[in-house]
Structure 1
Amino acid sequence: MKNNKILFALFLIYFVFAILLNSVGTVILQVISNYGISKSAASVLEGFKDLPIAVVSFLVASFLPRIGYKKAMLIGLAIVTFACMAMPLAPSFATTKLLFFCVGVSFALVKVSVYSTLGLIAADRKQHASTMNLLEGFFMLGVLSAYWVFGYFIDSHNPLSQSWLHTYWVLAALCALTFLLVLSTSFNESLAAPPEGRGLVEDFAAMLKLFFKPLVCVFIITAFLYVLIEQSIGTWLPTFNNEILKLPAAMSVEVTSIFAACLAAGRLSAGVLMRKLNWYPVMNGCVLGMAAMVLLALPLTHDVIADPHITWATAPLATFLFPLIGLFMAPIYPGINSVMLSSLPKHQHSAMTGLLVIFSALGGTTGSLITGYVFGNFNGHFAFYLTLVPISIVLLMLYFFKREVDQSGGGFDAAAIISGQH
């Protein structure tokens, strides 16, 4: 019963941060209209979110067990509660940048704490992997909700309207509620204690040493590239829908929820597929499927004619086809995370998650900045075609990842870990 309350608190935390983190694309669309910001300037919002995640993770992940996971979660939730309140009270592009900076700092504390807490309450690898899949699936439900929550407050008929800022009152209330839930929940963090006699410098050195293991290095590169692709598409899809497919602002955001729904569906169903098939060929198939969707859907987005009376029934086919790329992307991230974390002792989960968070954040920023630059200086078609480059590299890195997993002698079934059956 105690663990169920902890899990509920962790899931709610992830739900809240899913909305905040994945609102970047929607917010970019709104600040371009409200504050007259260029696409290249607006793309820095991803950096204000992701770079603090990377820096804070690098600085605190190794000794976060000494601070306490519960305290770290409470600090993160308190920061984003006040940051959300600031958005409607002091509307400006500077406040928007401050919001995402606060979200980045907070998520660094929260993600390392949540992932590490999962390791503490999981009885075995099967439970760990199952809970990881549920957590990531719940995260995607938060992402899906974000598009509709923001879409509800957006006024498509008045591009200069700031009604969308009312969304942040809802988010501030949700953050405060989650804070109270975590505060009232007791955590047993004794198993996360680092080895006796080891100081902060040794903790930090141990995290850095992890990176130089071949398996960890290949894993980090693969995760970096995956997040680069996902954020490139997820962040700029609302703007792509609005400018290339000529959809109204609110509909552009709501349609992007198809992408999030596909990620959620693919992530939750991946375990079923992995029960019968080996993870490596399935992931290769997923990567090839991603490339196929890019090549199939993007040619359909050329020469779209604006229709002031457009509806979901009359929207271009590409509106619904391209977001299906999420189905193929979904299994990759939780899959490699489960394989990696399940092979480490509990006291190393914080450091390993720190490395994962750092390079995931860098991947997200890199993807958004490159796509924003290409979108603004060339066109949206070329920006999304460009994702074929990292997709091709991911296919290559999965080969090296499998080879290192096999050579590491990890005596576990990766496919079973992903599906929660080991």
Structure 2
Amino acid sequence: MTTKLSEFSLPLKLTFLIFSMVLNCMGIVILQLSEAKITYDKLGFLESFKDLPVAFISLFAVNFISRTGTKNSLILALTIVGICSLILPFVEVFWFYKLWFAVIGACFAVGKICVFGIIRNNIPDEKSLAKTMNSVEASFMIGIFVVNTGFGWLISSRFSEFWKFGFLSISVLSGIAIFLFSRLKISEPEKSDQNNVFKEVSNLINPMLIIFLAVIFSILFVEQSFNSWLPSFYKNHLKVNSFFALQASSFMALFSYVGRIITANIIQRFSLSKYYILCISLILLVLAIIIGIQFADAEDSRILLFLFPVIGLFLSPLYPVINSKMIVRIDKLKANLLTSLIVIFSSLGSSVSSMTMAVLFENRMLNFYPFYILCAVSVLFIISLIYFRFADQKN
């Protein structure tokens, strides 16, 4: 199974790279459109146009993927992403961004279910699944780094007015991924009768799953606080230019990539639950240091620019580790259904986080940005402890 997985490892990683770039360009869009005098309250709801379609489409995508096939569904999603990225540079109106993110969100829902399904159907044990998931999801972090670095360079150059043409590169990558998948023969999961998706979900629900979904919601709530809003925090609170704001944020993505690669290589030596709790504890420690520096030192202390990225090292392993621990417990026939629930609560966590951050930024309460995230991580820590207690009782 491992040998076979390595054959389509590249297209899976490329798929996550592409979706990462289109999903995490939100920070750049917010930064650029805020300079075009579009208010933060409107920009905060822009995130919802990406996340809510993900939540709505995910459940129904399970039946669609079952009928169409994993490979064909993934190719269709990548095709739509490529076409949308090709069109975006030539459209100026704000409402199109809402439509664009809605379509991208729907495609991501299909794409993520397909990718998780492929991994689940090829890897049986918990730690190997965690290793593979960290490796594939690491490319998601590279996507954040690439999009921030690439667009940051474009925005700071003399061609800054053409920044949207950077999306053409995403179209090219989509074409490459489609070509790679078209040449592969992928084992499709067994088809199951899921005529009533809500009945299937109700049969799947149990207390441990509810707590797990609360953990997923909380992780994305924390992650989105950084991914879309950290550049604006750097620019508005720490008074750095747009280019440096994006580059500093991209370093957090780079640290996140390193965190997932390290996890993929060492996770088989440790208990998943202990490793996970250690990562959260280190996040709390770094945030406590940041808050101490912010309130003890100058308000615009530049050292914060270098401390925030370190959080990515410990934050990035949480999502793939907790997912792998839960997915391996689920029957292969229900893997797609569980993945759809993961996608739904991920998107809800992301959307609620962005709307809350919009309120924070609109009311110029940026002094509380690190404290706000510290509170969110503390809640995540408590919920995670409850989840692992349930999980240990099941073993």
TM-score (ref. length: structure 2): 0.92
Residue number in structure 1 paired with 2:335: 349
* 2:3 counterpart of 1:8: no
Residue number in structure 2 paired with 1:68: 69
Secondary structure of 1:363's match? Answer: helix
Which amino acid is the alignment partner of residue 342 of structure 2? L
1:215-237 superposed Cα distances (whole Å, 9 cap, x missing partner): 21111100100110010122100
Moved more, 102-111 or 74-83: 74-83
Which of residues 360, 365, 375 in structure 2 aligns to 1:374?
Answer: 360
| Pairs aligned (count) | 391
Cα distance between partner residues in 2 of 1:285 and 1:124? 22
Which of residues 312, 322, 344 in structure 1 aligns to 2:308?
Answer: 322
* 2:264 counterpart of 1:264: no
After superposition, residues 67-106 of structure 1 pair within 5 angstroms as 67-106=68-107
Cα distance between partner residues in 1 of 2:48 and 2:336? 23
Residue number in structure 1 paired with 2:45: 44
Q: C-alpha displacement at 1:381, in angstroms?
A: 2.1
Which of residues 201, 204, 207 in structure 2 aligns to 1:207?
Answer: 201
CA contact (8 A) 2:20 2:144 kept: yes
Moved more, 74-83 or 359-368: 74-83
Which amino acid is the alignment partner of residue 41 of structure 1? K
Q: C-alpha displacement at 1:282, in angstroms?
A: 3.3
Secondary structure of 1:378's match? Answer: coil
Q: Superposition RMSD on alpha carbons, in Å?
A: 2.2
1:350-407 superposed Cα distances (whole Å, 9 cap, x missing partner): 0000000000000000111101111211322213321222211111111211111122
CA contact (8 A) 1:375 1:382 kept: no
CA contact (8 A) 2:49 2:101 kept: yes
The alpha-carbon distance between structure 1 residues 236 and 183, as it changes in their structure 2 partners (threshold 3 A), is same
Q: C-alpha displacement at 1:186, in angstroms?
A: 2.4
Cα distance between partner residues in 2 of 1:392 and 1:126? 26
Q: C-alpha displacement at 1:172, in angstroms?
A: 1.5
Q: C-alpha displacement at 1:268, in angstroms?
A: 1.7
* 2:321 counterpart of 1:335: yes
The alpha-carbon distance between structure 1 residues 331 and 358, as it changes in their structure 2 partners (threshold 3 A), is same
Cα distance between partner residues in 2 of 1:358 and 1:83? 22
Name the structure where helix makes up a greater proportion of residues: 2
The alpha-carbon distance between structure 1 residues 94 and 299, as it changes in their structure 2 partners (threshold 3 A), is farther
- Is there any run of 5+ residues in structure 2 with no aligned partner, and where? none
Secondary structure of 1:121's match? Answer: coil
1:120-167 superposed Cα distances (whole Å, 9 cap, x missing partner): 233654543322121111221222211111112113789xx5321121
After superposition, residues 15-414 of structure 1 pair within 5 angstroms as 15-33=17-35, 35-61=36-62, 64-122=65-123, 124-155=125-156, 161-189=160-188, 191-194=189-192, 198-201=193-196, 203-210=197-204, 212-271=205-264, 274-301=267-294, 303=298, 316-409=302-395
Cα distance between partner residues in 2 of 1:131 and 1:274? 10
Cα distance between partner residues in 2 of 1:273 and 1:125? 14
Cα distance between partner residues in 2 of 1:277 and 1:74? 36
CA contact (8 A) 2:130 2:264 kept: no
Cα distance between partner residues in 2 of 1:404 and 1:124? 20
Which amino acid is the alignment partner of residue 182 of structure 1? F
Secondary structure of 2:229's match? Answer: helix
Q: What fraction of aligned residue pairs are identical, expressed as a percent?
A: 28
Cα distance between partner residues in 2 of 1:133 and 1:17? 16
CA contact (8 A) 1:238 1:256 kept: yes
Secondary structure of 1:267's match? Answer: helix
Cα distance between partner residues in 2 of 1:378 and 1:247? 17
Cα distance between partner residues in 2 of 1:276 and 1:185? 33
Cα distance between partner residues in 2 of 1:345 and 1:325? 34
TM-score (ref. length: structure 1): 0.87
Which amino acid is the alignment partner of residue 29 of structure 1? L
- Is there any run of 5+ residues in structure 1 with no aligned partner, and where? 306-314, 410-422
Secondary structure of 1:37's match? Answer: coil
CA contact (8 A) 2:132 2:264 kept: no
Cα distance between partner residues in 1 of 2:356 and 2:367? 13
1:193-240 superposed Cα distances (whole Å, 9 cap, x missing partner): 11xxx3511x44223322x21221111100100110010122100001
CA contact (8 A) 2:82 2:172 kept: yes
CA contact (8 A) 2:13 2:139 kept: yes
Which amino acid is the alignment partner of residue 210 of structure 2? C
Moved more, 235-244 or 396-405: 396-405
Q: C-alpha displacement at 1:276, in angstroms?
A: 4.5
Secondary structure of 1:404's match? Answer: helix
Cα distance between partner residues in 2 of 1:174 and 1:276? 35
Which amino acid is the alignment partner of residue 280 of structure 1? S
